Structure 1
């Protein structure tokens, strides 16, 4: 029997420059809301490709991941970042 695969909540951050992205990432990595068992995957902005943050979690940690998602939205607003899209597996 195979175990369930990890899932991820992905945030696309169009228009975020490298400095702002670095500041956001520093805040995320220093915040207990994003500690294990959650994992944060970061994709820095590149020409023609927006920045992206993904909260990776196991299905049994979904509630914690949704709480972390709300916290991430707050952190992004603090940096003046509008979230362009959020992809949540299995609905909201």
Structure 2
């Protein structure tokens, strides 16, 4: 049997400027309870700190890119629910 090759994870990052701790906690709660963000996707979170914005990254393997793009659309909906403006999103592999 050949060894399984692992691909490096890619990530779609959202910087959440101006989001306070309570709003971030609510966003994270909604994301973690939504099936759109289930495995094989991985949500990485960095809470807001003085001088540093909150950040959510949707990490995925290259073969899960389609699921990640769909989850990104869902994340945009969740963020808009809390009044978080989205200026831009970078998806690896898109021009």
Structure 1 unpaired stretches of 5+ = none
Q: Which has the larger radius of gyration?
A: 2
Shift of 1:86: 2.2
TM-score, length basis structure 2: 0.90
- Where structure 2 has 5 or more consecutive residues not aligned to the other structure, the ranges are none
- Could you say what secondary structure the match of 2:89 adopts? strand
Note the C-alpha offset of 1:4. Answer: 2.1
Structure 1 residue runs of 4 or more that deviate by more than 3 Å after TM superposition: none
- CA deviations on 1:53-75 (whole Å, 9 max, x unpaired) are 00000000000000000000000
Higher relative contact order (CA 8 A, sep 6+): 1
- Local SS of the residue matching 2:30: helix
1:49 aligns with 2:52: yes
What's the RMSD between the two structures over aligned residues?
1.5
